Amino acid sequence: MRQVNDTQEIHCAFLMGKSRLTPLKAIIIPSLELMAAVLSAKLGMMLREELESLDKETYWIESTTVIKYINNNKAHFQTYVANRVQVIRDLTEVNQWKYVDTKENPADDASHAMEIHNFLEQPRWITGPEFLWKPGIEWPECPRTVKEVGDHDLAIKTTHSTIIEQNDLLKHLEYFSQWSRVKKVVAWL
């Protein structure tokens, strides 16, 4: 939680943290980052309900891929990605998601293997990253290279279309011996 008093003094304090283990089944990194974003949105909702006096919320994430997914308004995603992006969008606003560089991300302290003495020496888990202690205009910006989700992204749903000209339609329908099979195939297409 970041607080700014009347004299513009800033104080940051640790409220809550949650970390999960990676599933045994191999999952690609963008999916793990997307799961972390969903977890952040759910924690944010819980804190919003418990702390009724929050002015605004900001969600920090180091995955530019997830930022692209959240900002996307054009592409249709595979079901896994679409469902998680929808949860994020239901619980938060798009403009609440900000980019944080890996070097400044305190969440990495919990998710990466770290010896306890190193963890205790780094105060950023409790106090937050250094940039939070500065005015908002000095916060990190999302890299300019982050653009819209491209067609090459594996999360994009691919669609196939078949065009059948009217003259060929009868030839295709004659292939079937039962009307019920024709209906099933047409419905499937």
Q: What pLDDT, in 10s, does the model give residues 161-179?
A: 455 555 666 666 777 778 8
Q: What pLDDT, in 10s, does the model give residues 13-47?
A: 888 888 777 778 877 788 888 998 999 999 999 99
Q: What are phi and psi of 185, to 5 degrees?
A: -65, -45
Q: What are phi and psi of 77, to 5 degrees?
A: -90, 160
Residue 163 lies in a domain: no
Residue 166 lies in a domain: no
CA distance 96 to 176: 55
Residue 74 lies in a domain: yes
For 21, residues 6+ apart whose C-beta sits below 8 A from its C-beta are none
- Return the structure tokens found at 123: 């105060």
- Averaged pLDDT of the chain: 80
Residue listed under structure tokens 């992006």: 85
CA distance 11 to 2: 6
Asked which of 97-101, 102-106, 118-122, 135-139 is least confident by mean pLDDT, the reply is 118-122
Residue 26 lies in a domain: yes
Give the number of domains in the chain. Answer: 1
Q: Is the backbone of residue 59 left (phi > 0), alpha (psi -120 to 50) or beta?
A: beta
Residue 87 lies in a domain: yes
Question: Would you say residue 156 has pLDDT above 60?
Answer: no
Q: What is the pTM of this model?
A: 0.71
